[in-house]
């Protein structure tokens, strides 16, 4: 249990975040309703 909580779960979480980052970023950038931006002058 300790090994799962200390190593495996964080590793899976990070791997999932890395794997889905392009999709999530693309979804956010092209979402027709909600978007976030940095507006620079």
Partner 1 sequence: MTVHTDVPARERGQTDAPAPERVSHAGEEEKRRKARYPGRQTWAAWPAYDAAGLGFRGYWYPVAWSSNVAAGRPVRITLCGENIVLVRDSKGLHALYDRCPHRGVPLSTGTQEFDGSISCPYHGWTFDTSTGRLGAVITDGPDSPICGKVSVATYPVEELLNLVWVYMGVDGEEPTPLLDQIPEELRGVSFNLGGRIKVRRGDWRLTCENGFDEGHAKFLHRNAMWRRFKSMPVWNVTKLEQRGRWLFRVQTEQHWTAEFPGYGSWPPERESRWRIKPSADGTQSISNTGNPKAPHPHIAAQDYPGFVSVSMPGVLRVVYPDFIHYEFYVPYDADHHRYVGLMVNFDSGFRSLLFKAKYLGFVRWFFHGLFAAQDAWMVDETDAPPERLYRPDVSLTTWRSMCEDAAEERTARLNPTA
Q: Which residues bind partner 1 (CB under 8 A)?
A: 28-41
Instruction: Report d(CA 23, CA 10) in Å as an integer.
Output: 20
Q: With respect to partner 1, which residue has the nearer C-beta, 5 or 30?
A: 30
The sign of the CA dihedral 12, 17, 22, 23 is positive
Contact present, 9 and 1 (Cβ < 8 Å): no
Q: How far is the CB of 32 from partner 1 (least distance, A)?
A: 5
- Nearest CB to partner 1, comparing residues 4 and 28: 28
Min dist CB 28 to partner 1, Å, is 7
């Amino acid at each position: 249990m300790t090994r799962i909580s200390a190593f495996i779960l964080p590793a899976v979480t990070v791997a999932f975040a890395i794997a889905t980052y392009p999709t999530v970023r693309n979804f956010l950038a092209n979402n027709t309703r909600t978007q976030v931006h940095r507006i620079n002058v």
